[in-house]
Chains A and B, each alone.
Chain A
Amino acid sequence: MADITTQMNTTKQMQAGFSRSQVSLAFVAIAVVLTIAQYAGLLPAALFRLPESMIPPFAIWLDAIFTFVKDDLGLLAVTRWLTGGLQWLLDVTANLLFGKRRWPNIGPIPWTSIAAVAGVIGYYLGGWRMALLGAGVFTWTALIGQWKIAMETMSVLVVAAPLAFVIGLTLGILAWKKPWLDRALKPILSVLQTLPFFTYLLPAVIFFKVGPTAGAVATTIYAIPPMILMTTLGLQKVSPEVVEAGNMSGCTKWQLLRHVYIPSARTEILVGVNQVIMLCLAMVVLTAFIGMPGLGAKLLAMMGSFKLGRSFEIGVTIVLLAVMLDRMSKAWVVKQPEHFEKGTPWWKKHAMLLLGIVLFVLFILVSKVIPEAQTLGRTQNFSQGKEIDNLIKGFLNIDIVKSTTGFLRAFLNVQILIPFRNFLLSIPTPAFILLITAFSLWLGGQRQAVLAAVFFSLVALSGWWDRSVITLYSVISAVALASLIGLPIAIAAARSPKWSERVLLICDTAQTFPSFVYLIPAIMLFGITDIAVIFSILIFAMVPLVRYTIEGLRGVPSEMTEAADMAGATRLQKLRSVQLPLALPVMAIGFNQAIMFAFFMVIIAAFIGTQDLGQELQRTLAGTDMGKNFVLGLCVSLMALTFDMTLLKWANDRKKALGLES
């Protein structure tokens, strides 16, 4: 991500001889003075907010550039041409998976066949439990009556994921071979990873037509960065002796790559595959916003009409698919080749492959006789949407639940959140930028401070300052609340290995859920309110926070805690003076991820109805307002990058100072 920052030399003292914290304090003091002046009515309006007349028309400039690239350079013609090929592929998978009337016109494949093959793959990768998971998830999807929409989603996924894999692998290898490409890619990748997904969607729509093609393109691009990073990382980690052994065996360059490097980097490459699949799933659900049919679109519609029961069921399906894909791809990572005893007959060596084919064909034949094995009709499914709906609404109507959520809405919103938001909005722009700069200087260093100042000044220049501050407000409030709840949980769990494991497992699983499903409980509990927005971000951001805190605390070397015990420290003393300081760098990484997740989620929460950048971004999707879309997207990205580089720099510096491996 922000490796650019880690490669920096350690910060030098400020030239004037002041220490970093002194300068930071001075910045804060100026900011406070400016804010007080504003309250006293002494600040000229031009210093409070940049006057409209001074805001450069970035959007119009960008639009002009886009039009030039699109029409004059003929990029549109190229992409529309590419669309043809992609469209053809998507039609094939659509035909096979849910019977869209396109070539090769043989689909849809019966759900029983797909479930059986998933079971066999599961068994091959991870034994009986994985087999049950694989077959079970598809059976659930069919029985609950969501087969068609799930397959609409899958038909894009099975095209986008391999595409992202191939492109990512190729770019990763090139970046590893050519250092200049690596240097050029790194900053682009960190911007791409912080860019809100709406910014991926609009160009996709403009260049690749509305519908599955645009969805597939946006999904692919979104999933490429981690594949590049993991490939490069894996190739760099190949042991030099193995490479030398390859060289001494007389490998040519190509042989070395094909037979030595890539197989040796297998683990990292497969971890990349896992990430590609998970990101693809998360994104493909979100393409609902540009009208891609499938699970996401259905979920969006159901939530829009407040059908909580059906939303819940779709959420479960998405989560199950996510868990299955994650577990299976992770099992593939650790799957090691086994040798067969001499003289094993070939059918035994390929037993799983054969079994898969046999079951696949068998169920196709069965479905010719029993139509239920082919597709389940509308009235045959077991959806309990209405009942769950009533159940949830009944639960929310129980006095105690109702009063709790009501109290939270009233108290948290009116007493804390809204005043906080108004306060942030009342800070003059220059003061705000100074505060952020001071923060980056204090935690990061000179370079981080300069970049922070530049980034936030750009946000101010964009003309979307107030909306950006509201976005930031949502992020800060949610992460603060997440810390309040998450840290105690994590600290308590870290005390016993058993609980650590359990909570980590929950975090691991929760992290695989596509972000979209986090909206479901938020809307259920709080309806369409500001609190729901904060709540959805909060639970999403809490996952990395808890996870890294536990890992940080558990990672403290046992000699140190033992030394504390022998020094007669109480549990609290040990926590405060030994465990927390040593765990802090790791916790900072979790904190950073929580902020990144929050920036991601706050945009999705636009669906609930916010007043921030996300809302504006969502509006641009309706038109072809590419310039504005990019300006908004970059505002989010610049704010996120500021936090990212500052916190990671701090975590790295701390690790080095503590002599922990960095």
Chain B
Amino acid sequence: MTTDTVISCKNVWKIFGADPAGYLANMPEGHSFDAIRADGYIAGVKDVSIEVSRGEMLVIMGLSGSGKSTLVRCFSRLHDITGGTIEVEGQDIMSLSEKELIELRRNKMGMVFQSFGLLPHRTVLDNVAFPLEMRGQDKHTRRARALEVVKLVGLEGREDYFPRELSGGQQQRVGIARSLAIEPDIWFLDEPFSALDPLIRREMQDEFLRLQDMLGKTIVFITHDFDEALRLADRIAIMKDGAVEQCDTPDQIVLNPATEYVRKFTEDIDKARVVHASVLANKDVTGTGDPVDGKASVQDLARLLVQDTREIIPVEANGKLIGAMKRNDALEVLLGTS
């Protein structure tokens, strides 16, 4: 895709069981998830190849038990993989010594957890400063940095609270602040908002988008909530039984589901909110009249689509024409007949 790949994994396997490596070596080609399970092993990650580019937000999406959490833990080597290779910034992470791995985590990676993973005996500030403390920064600088991040996530004034004195949303803000304290390049978020109630979740998503606009990190975000995935993702990888079913942009997943499983997922989704004009545009066609913005979703254009009489509508991106879309195509997306 792009030249600047941050995480690249090829044919990654993670198998749980008595002797995973030995089992994988002798396993027949194309063994299914259920066949592996019948042998007494669990395929947490099954032959996954995926790449994450710099500054991209990849959302990994799947039901519980689909292997998405396992996959992200392979990226950071919280799990040792059974087969394949994972390179982070061009470095094979399975070849790192324990010391090098610790260095990598101390300087490059941050992670946010579903149930926050806060240390109950430390105050907000001490929790946030924890990774800095681990890498041996002196008390003064780590305090200054921690205060800065606490402010960034909007928890000013609560630095001396203990986790149990905070609400779920506030606790996750602490988790986010902690993961950002070391200014990581790569940011892993494992269902960060799943434990929160819907209103707070929405608010936290907005907050998260605001942070990402500011920081522009490379992000791997896990969720089981399709709406959340659509809202946040540059690309979505849908997982089932340890394997990636489809990895593509939200528009493409909605318009062209690769498998039956993915299609079922997208069935109840309001496609008009997901599909953007730019995706419908064909660059070989030219339309007449005022162009519409490529970044607008079909729903944004609903009024125009219904009232307009043109068959072909030109589409522009960043003030430049990129082609035109058929009004009918857009209307079909809008009315859900496609």
* Chain A residues within 8 Å of B, Cβ to Cβ: 239, 241-242, 244-252, 255, 259-260, 263-264, 266, 336-342
- The residues of A that contact B76 with a CB separation of less than 8 Å are 248
Can you name 8 A-B pairs with beta carbons within 8 Å? A241-B117, A245-B113, A245-B178, A248-B110, A250-B135, A259-B133, A260-B119, A339-B165
What residues of B have a CB within 8 angstroms of the CB of A336 in the complex? Answer: 162, 164
Residue of B nearest to A266 (CB): B121
Residues of B within 8 A of A266 (CB): 120-121
CB B101 to nearest CB in A, in angstroms, measures 9
Nearest B residue to A341, CB-CB: B160
- Within 8 Å by CB of B111, from A244, A252, A342, lies A244
B145 beta carbon closer than 8 Å to chain A: no
* A248-B105 in contact (CB<8A): yes
- Minimum CB–CB distance for A43 against chain B, Å: 53
Give which listed residue, B116, B135, B178, contacts A241 with CB less than 8 A.
B116
Contact of A245 among B73, B107, B118, B123 (CB under 8 A): B118
- Judge whether B130 and A259 touch: CB under 8 Å: yes
Chain A residue at minimal CB-CB distance from B158: A339
Beyond the given pairs A245-B111, A250-B106, A260-B119, 17 more chain A to chain B contacts, judged by CB atoms under 8 angstroms and listed by A's residue number, are: A241-B116, A241-B117, A244-B73, A244-B117, A245-B113, A245-B178, A246-B119, A248-B105, A248-B131, A248-B179, A249-B106, A250-B103, A250-B182, A252-B102, A259-B134, A337-B162, A339-B160
| B160 interface neighbour in A250, A251, A342, Cβ under 8 Å | A342
CB-based closest 10 A-B pairs: A250-B106, A245-B117, A249-B131, A241-B117, A339-B160, A248-B111, A263-B121, A250-B105, A241-B113, A242-B117
Tell me, in angstroms, the Cα distance from A264 to B116 when the chains sit together. 14
Instruction: Say yes or no for B266: interface residue by CB 8 A criterion.
Output: no
B43 CB to closest chain A CB (Å) equals 20
Assess whether B160 is in contact with A340, with CB atoms less than 8 Å apart: yes
Roughly how many angstroms separate A340 CA and B134 CA in the complex, as a whole number? Answer: 25
Q: Which of B120, B123, B161 has the most CB of A within 10 A?
A: B120
Which residue, A239, A249, A339, has most C-beta atoms of chain B within 10 A?
A: A249
Nearest chain A CB to B331 CB, angstrom units: 47
Residue-wise interface mask of B (296-320) relative to A, using a CB-CB cutoff of 8 A (1 in contact, 0 not): 0000000000000000000000000
Tell me, rounded to whole Å, the shortest Cβ–Cβ distance linking A468 to chain B.
Answer: 44
Name the distance in Å between B234's Cβ and chain A's nearest Cβ. Answer: 23
A246 contacts which chain B residues (CB < 8 A)? 119
Task: Give which listed residue, A244, A259, A338, A341, contacts B119 with CB less than 8 A.
Answer: A259
**For B118, what are the chain A residues with a Cβ–Cβ distance below 8 Å?**
242, 245
Instruction: Decide yes or no whether B21 CB sits under 8 A from chain A.
Output: no
CA distance A447 to B307 in the complex (A): 82
In the assembly, what is the distance between CA of A259 and CA of B107, in Å?
19
Contacts of B110 in A (CB 8 A): 248
Taking CB atoms, residues of chain A closer than 8 Å to B113 are 241, 244-245
How many whole Å from B134's CB to the nearest CB in chain A?
5
The closest CB in chain A to the CB of B159 belongs to A342
Q: How far is the CA of A81 from the CA of B133 in the complex (A)?
A: 42
- CA A239 – CA B116 in complex, angstroms? 11
Closest beta carbon of chain A to B117's beta carbon, Å:
4
**Residues of chain B in range 39-76 having any CB-CB distance to chain A below 8 Å:** 73, 76
Contact call B162/A239, Cβ cutoff below 8 A: no
Residues from chain B with Cβ under 8 Å of A247 in the complex: 78, 105
Query: Nearest Cβ distance between residue B289 and chain A, in whole angstroms?
Result: 53
Min C-beta distance of B94 to chain A, whole Å: 16
Residues of A within 8 A of B121 (CB): 263-264, 266, 337
Q: A250 is contacted by which of B78, B131, B165 (Cβ under 8 Å)?
A: B131
A250 to B116, CA, bound (A): 17
Instruction: Judge if B85 is at the interface, Cβ distance under 8 Å.
Output: no
Q: How far is the CB of A271 from chain B (nearest CB, A)?
A: 16
User: Looking across the interface, which residue of chain B has its beta carbon closest to that of A250?
Assistant: B106
- Shortest beta-carbon distance from A266 to chain B in Å: 7
| Nearest A residue to B110, CB-CB | A248
Chain A residue with the shortest CB-CB distance to B179: A248
CB pair B105–A263 under 8 Å, yes or no, is no
Q: Shortest Cβ distance from A346 into chain B, in angstroms?
A: 14
B109 lies within 8 A of chain A by Cβ = yes
B8 proximal to A (CB < 8 A): no
> Are B161 and A250 neighbours in the complex by a CB distance under 8 Å?
no
Across-interface contacts of B178 in A (CB, < 8 A): 245, 249
Confirm or deny: B246 has a beta carbon within 8 angstroms of a beta carbon on chain A: no
Nearest Cβ on chain A to B183's Cβ, whole angstroms: 13
A239 to B131, CA, bound (A): 18
- B174-196 interface (Cβ within 8 A of A): 175, 178-179, 182, 188
* A593-B114 Cα distance, complex, nearest whole Å: 40
A252 proximity list for chain B (CB < 8 A): 102, 134
**Which residue of the partner chain A has the closest CB to B76?**
A248
- Residue pair A339, B162 in contact (C-beta under 8 Å): yes
- In the complex, whether B115 has a CB less than 8 A from a CB of chain A is yes
Smallest Cβ distance from A345 to chain B, in angstroms?
Answer: 15
Cα A247 to Cα B114 in complex, Å, equals 16
Q: Are B117 and A339 in contact (CB under 8 A)?
A: no
- B40 to chain A: closest CB distance in Å? 15
Q: How far is the CA of A338 from the CA of B117 in the complex (A)?
A: 20
List the A side residues contacting B133 at CB < 8 Å: 259
A244 to B79, CA, bound (A): 10
A249 near B120: Cβ-Cβ < 8 Å: no
**When the two chains form their complex, are residues B102 and A239 in contact, meaning their CB atoms are under 8 A apart?**
no
Check if B114 sits within 8 Å of A241, measured CB to CB. yes
Q: Would you call B115 and A239 a contact (CB within 8 A)?
A: yes
Q: A339 to B175, alpha carbons, bound, how many Å?
A: 19
Q: Is the CB of A248 within 8 A of B78?
A: yes
The answer to whether B120 touches A264 (Cβ under 8 A) is yes
Residues of A within 8 Å of B114, CB to CB, are: 241
A244-B73, A245-B178, A248-B110 are known contacts. Are A264 and B119 too (CB-CB below 8 A)?
yes
Q: A residues within 8 A CB of B115? A: 239, 241
A264 to chain B, nearest CB (A): 7
List residues of chain A with CB within 8 A of the CB of B78.
244, 247-248
**CB-nearest residue of chain A relative to B175?**
A245
Q: How far is the CA of A263 from the CA of B116 in the complex (A)?
A: 16
Q: How far is the CB of A292 from chain B (nearest CB, A)?
A: 38
Known: A248-B110, A249-B178. A339 touches B105 (CB 8 A): no
If the complex has contacts A259-B119, A264-B120, A337-B121, are A249 and B105 also in contact, measured as CB distance less than 8 A? yes
- B103 contacts which chain A residues (CB < 8 A)? 250
Residues of B within 8 A of A260 (CB): 119
Kindly report which residue of chain B lies nearest to residue A251, judged by CB atoms.
B134
- Rounded to whole angstroms, the CA-CA distance of A336 and B120 in the bound complex is 9
Q: Tell me how far the C-beta of A492 lies from the nearest C-beta in chain B, rounded to whole angstroms.
A: 38
Q: Which residues of A contact B102 (CB under 8 A)?
A: 250-252
In the complex, which residues of chain A have a beta carbon less than 8 angstroms from the beta carbon of B107?
250
A250 touches B134 (CB 8 A): yes
CA distance A255 to B109 in the complex (A): 18
Closest residue on chain A to residue B122 by CB atoms: A263
In the assembly, what is the distance between CA of A241 and CA of B182, in Å? 19
CA distance A255 to B105 in the complex (A): 14
Of A250, A340, A342, the most chain B CB neighbours within 10 A belong to A250
Q: Mark B85-129, 1 if CB is under 8 A from A, else 0.
A: 000000000000000001101110111011111111111000000
Q: Give bound CA distance, A250 to B132, whole Å.
A: 9
B119 contacts A263, CB within 8 Å? Answer: yes
Distance in angstroms from B248 CB to nearest chain A CB is 29
On chain A, the residues within 8 Å of B116 by CB distance are 241
In the complex, what residue of chain A is closest to B103 when comparing beta carbons? Answer: A250
Q: Which residues of the partner chain A approach B111 to less than 8 Å between Cβ atoms?
A: 244-245, 248
A residues near B162, Cβ cutoff 8 Å: 336-339
Docked CA distance A341–B165 (Å): 13
Cα(A244)–Cα(B75), bound, Å: 13
Contact flags B132-151 to A (C-beta < 8 A → 1, else 0) = 01110000000000000000
CA distance A338 to B164 in the complex (A): 10
